[in-house]
Amino acid sequence: MMAPFYKFGLFGDNIGLVVAFLVGIGFGFFLERAGFGSSRKLAAQFYFTDLTVFKVMFTAIVTAMLGVYYLSVFGFMDLSLVYLTPTFLAPQVVGGLILGAGFVVGGYCPGTACVGIATGRIDALVLFIGIFVGIFGFSEFFPLVSGFYNATPMGQLTLPQVTRLPYGLLVFAVVLMALGGFAGAEWVEKRMAARQAEA
């Protein structure tokens, strides 16, 4: 997120932390504005009664993708400087399922738990403590799982690399997928609301 400015030496590591702090505050603010401080709203996602999480996240993805794409096309930023998390397929699938299960049970993901705490929600605080218990347990047992943790490394992948399709085509495809997803989400929400009204 700070790559283009960081690269040109506009600020160093220390100022980078300040920038990260400000970006984090902004992130938290918009999560709260989207209603993600409430575990009920977040958990409703998994019962298909309120797909706000899906819509907000996909909006963020599309906005960021278009912004980054056009800034790079016009030469304002260097896309190759943006850090990509390397893919470790098997551990990331398992980790995603664990996080998802925790998300359904606890009603928060780590970021939204911080937002919930900021507005004084006890459930968010409990979940946040749980996160640290989990981190501690994971660290203590790390030697046991480190083999799996580093399994199936695939490097830093992007969709154009994997699919070998032109970059612009994939941008368009993701936009279409998002728009289709939004329409589908609204439809599902309406149906669920109708079903609840019947019951």
Partner 1 sequence: MADLMRKLSLNGRLALTAFVLGFLALFAGTPYHGADATINTKELSLTMAADADQVGVTTLADWIIQGKSNFRVVDVRHATAYAEYHIPPAENIPVAGLGQSSLLHNEKIVLYADDGVRAAQAWMLLKAKGFKGVYILRGGLDAWKDSVLFPRIPGNPTPAQAVEFARAREVSRFFGGTPQALAGDSTAARQVAMPKLTMPASPTAGAPKKKKKEGC
Residue 122 CB, nearest approach to partner 1 (Å):
22
Candidate list 5, 54, 69, 128; residue touching partner 1; CB under 8 A: 69
Does 68 help bind partner 1 (rule: CB under 8 A)?
A: yes
The string of DSSP codes covering 29-79 is: HHHHHTTTT-HHHHHHGGGTS--HHHHHHHHHHHHHHHHHHHHHHTTSS-G
Strand pairing class (87-88; 153-155): antiparallel
Q: How far is CA 79 from CA 17, 61, 87, 161, 190, in A?
A: 21, 16, 18, 14, 39
Task: State the Cα–Cα distance between residues 27 and 34, nearest whole angstrom.
Answer: 11
Give whichever of 68 and 192 is closer to partner 1, judged by the CB atom: 68
Does 192 help bind partner 1 (rule: CB under 8 A)?
A: no
The 83-102 contact track toward partner 1, x by CB under 8 A, reads x-xx-x--------------
Does 138 help bind partner 1 (rule: CB under 8 A)?
A: no
Count other Cβ atoms within 10 Å, centred on residue 42. 24
Residue 32 CB, nearest approach to partner 1 (Å):
14
Give whichever of 147 and 198 is closer to partner 1, judged by the CB atom: 147
Per CB under 8 A, residues contacting partner 1 are: 3, 6-9, 57, 59, 62-63, 66, 68-70, 72-73, 75, 78-81, 83, 85-86, 88, 109-112, 146, 149-150, 153, 156, 160, 166-169, 171-172, 174-176, 178-179, 182
